[in-house]
Amino acid sequence: MRMGSLGVVAVFNSNLDAIRLVAKLLESAGFTVVSALIPDIRDGRCDVNEMMRRHDPSVVVYDIGPPYEDNWRMFEELRARPSMRERQCVITAVNASRVEELARADERIYEVVDKECDLVEIAKAVKEAARARVIRAEQPKSNVTVMSERRHQSDRRQPWTSNDIYTRLREKREAVEMERRQGGRRAADSDPNRSHAA
């Protein structure tokens, strides 16, 4: 398996299409992704301990859906395993506010991300969680953060399609490329060593 420059992330979700979408997003951000279906973990068809040992992901992206209390309990049981210790967790949920109530002051959850928001936020949260794992031993602090943008209309929002995400990523790449080209032109224009024709 090719190691991404930013490390390995494990994606656990009950929906295979959602796994593929999040994996593509994280891979485009520079991570290597391993994944499993949550029902396979629950029913013992996926050995999470072996997965953690083999791939050593720094971050786990875990989706919690209804019934929230039951699925939160399963998540807590999973991360209590020795193989899951010291791994930062980014939680995704359609109803992020409900999951935030369950998480409260949980020191091991890095961020609760609303799947109906801009999914690029997931990549940002994973990058921050990966950095937090590195400095956690040196600077112990709460790793619970909540997206500042509140989802006032989350019930009425339509989920993003994969085409929406790919279009957004392409637009972001084009914007970065344009900034890079403009930055290069500005640097060339201001270079005092540049020779000018008389």
What CATH number is given to the structural domain containing 62? 3.40.50.2300
44 shares its domain with 71: yes
Domain contains 194: no
14 shares its domain with 81: yes
Domain contains 198: no
Domain contains 78: yes
180 shares its domain with 109: no
Q: Which helix (H) or strand (E) holds 141?
A: none
* pLDDT tens for the chain, residues 1 to 198: 444 468 999 999 999 999 999 999 999 999 999 999 999 999 999 999 999 999 999 999 999 999 999 999 999 999 999 999 889 999 999 888 889 888 887 877 888 888 766 778 899 999 999 888 765 544 444 444 433 333 333 333 444 555 566 566 677 677 777 777 776 665 555 555 555 544
Domain contains 86: yes
Question: How many residues comprise the chain?
Answer: 198
Q: With 0.75 as the threshold, say if the pTM is over it.
A: no
Asked if 111 and 146 count as a contact pair (C-beta separation under 8 A), the reply is yes
Q: Quick one: DSSP state of residue 124? A: H
Distance CA 125, CA 85 (A): 19
24 shares its domain with 112: yes
Q: How many domains does the chain have?
A: 2
Q: Which of 127, 137, 5, 121 is nearest to 59 (CA)?
A: 127
- Range(s) of the domain holding residue 175: 158-189
Distance CA 22, CA 91 (A): 12
101 shares its domain with 181: no
Residue that the structure tokens 């949920």 belong to = 93
What is the CB neighbour count within 10 angstroms for residue 46? 16
Asked if 120 and 25 count as a contact pair (C-beta separation under 8 A), the reply is yes
78 shares its domain with 118: yes
